[in-house]
Amino acid sequence: MNNNTPVTPRPLRHLGNDVRHRVLSAAQLREHGVAAARAAAQCRPGGPWQQLLPGVYLLHPGPPTSEERLHAVLLYAGRPGPEAAKGVPAQPGSSPGGRPGSSSRSAPPARSSARPSSPYGGVMVTGLAALALHGFGSTPGLRELDLIDVLVPRTRRLRSTAFARLIRAHALPRPELVTGVPVAPVARAVADAVAELSDAAAVRALLTEAVRGGHCEPASVVRELSQARLLARPHVVDAVDALLAEGRSLAEGRLYEMVRTYALPEPVWNVDLALPGGPHLGGVDAYWPEQAVAVELDTRAPRLGGPGGPQDDDAVWTEYARKREHLERLGVTVLHLTPRKLRESLEQQAMVVGTALAAADERDPAAYVVVLPR
């Protein structure tokens, strides 16, 4: 064989049974022996193929399905650019076509569960399309979306085009596979969707469904919104306030459920504690006076980009710690339960509370405290 020997094409007749075969990149077509000139000829008016995006082909003449559009966007965004071929590392600063503020986004390094040979190169669907794949009912269906958002490394030199909108990130989060499609985690997808929405009702609906539907905790959503610098928008701040109230209400409901489902003694709910004739000690969500055990829901949600920044969260945490230390010096056991733990491991949290109640007889008697309704 020499350089003039033609490459034997891999047959294309089997393609069409799977979306990964109906939508192929130029590189994949070359693996089947289809040169660029032949692919272009197939896409002429009246031809059997069509070019959906630069370098991405649909191997039938009809309208693309939602699945085919998703696959096309991922193939377009995931193909390695010149910077990947040359091994150029990511550099600080914005990239052409990037969203304002995207250079400041940070997240855990990408650890895609996809195989190393994945044609997507680590990119993932985000925004409204990702939320639709996650099963959100408050988002338009995939067929109704004019644009599909996809997260890419910020060094990627491709630009948004046609129905593919690229969102650049300093570091990609770990994707979740939904029906074989790499999708951004819910909290990140919500933030990317909110960045493109100006309707207050739509923003509130997304945030509420994220929490009420059990997709994620309020803190993770607020953290992503903060990192995206979206908390300066009044309609987003209003939606966040409603989100935090929603999250706390759900956590309180799970706390009630825990006590009753696992037959724990009934506490007094939502009370303030104080020394007799002395200072106020703080409020707790549940208190067992005979055992001197208190439960406090940790529903803090830091607004890292809002007024006061991280200092606000530090101040809140300092107050939490001060209250806990004061109560424990008085002999009161304080348990901090998070909404996530109550949602994911209710039985385990019931065991933690039950153990603290059972251990009360082995501890020194606690100081007398006054229980006041909130």
Cα dihedral across residues 252, 253, 256, 259: positive or negative: negative
Quick one: angle between helices 186-194 and 200-212, nearest 10? Answer: 170
Would you say the C-alpha torsion 200, 153, 106, 208 has a positive or negative sign?
positive
Residue 300 is predicted with a pLDDT of 65
CATH code of the domain occupying 259-373: 3.40.960
Asked if 273 and 332 count as a contact pair (C-beta separation under 8 A), the reply is yes
Query: 246: which residues sit within 8 A by CB, 6+ positions away?
Result: 208, 211, 212, 218
Per-residue pLDDT of the chain (374 residues; tens, 9 = 90+): 444 434 444 455 555 556 777 999 999 999 999 999 999 999 999 999 999 999 999 999 999 999 999 999 999 999 764 433 343 333 333 333 344 334 334 443 333 444 444 568 889 999 999 999 999 999 999 999 999 999 999 988 899 999 999 999 998 999 999 998 999 999 999 999 999 999 999 999 999 999 888 898 888 999 999 999 999 999 999 999 888 888 888 899 999 999 999 999 999 999 999 999 878 898 999 999 999 999 999 876 554 444 444 445 556 567 777 888 889 999 999 999 988 899 889 999 999 999 999 999 888 888 899 999 98
Q: Return d(Cα 94, Cα 103) in angstroms, integer.
A: 6
Residue-wise pLDDT for 332-364, tens only, equals 999 999 888 998 899 999 999 999 999 998 888
Structure confidence by residue, pLDDT tens digits, 223-277 = 999 999 999 999 999 999 888 888 888 899 999 999 999 999 999 999 999 999 8
Q: What is the pLDDT of residue 365?
A: 86
| CB within 8 Å of 141: residues ≥ 6 apart | 66, 132
Annotated domain spans of the chain: 19-62, 75-248, 259-373
SS (H, E, C) 2-35: CCCCCCCCCCCCCCCCCHHHHEEEHHHHHHCCCC
In sequence order, what DSSP letters do the residues of 46-106 get, joined into one string?
T-S-EEEETTEEESSSSPPPHHHHHHHHHHHHHS--HHHHHTPPP-SS--TTPPTTGGG--
Q: Which amino acid is at 41?
A: A
Question: What pLDDT score does 91 carry?
Answer: 34
Q: Residue 369: phi, psi to the nearest 5?
A: -125, 150
C-alpha 73/C-alpha 68 separation (Å) is 9
Q: What is the pLDDT of residue 316?
A: 59
pLDDT of 247: 84
Rounded CA-CA distance 355/296 in Å is 16
0.85 exceeded by pTM: no
The CA–CA distances, whole Å, from 166 to 109, 169, 196 equal 19, 10, 13
Rounded CA-CA distance 311/104 in Å is: 19
Query: Distance between CA atoms of 320 and 334, rounded to whole angstroms?
Result: 11
Distance, in Å, from the CA atom of 150 to the CA atom of 120, rounded to the nearest integer, reads 11
- In this structure, are residues 360 and 271 in contact, taking their beta carbons and an 8 Å threshold? no
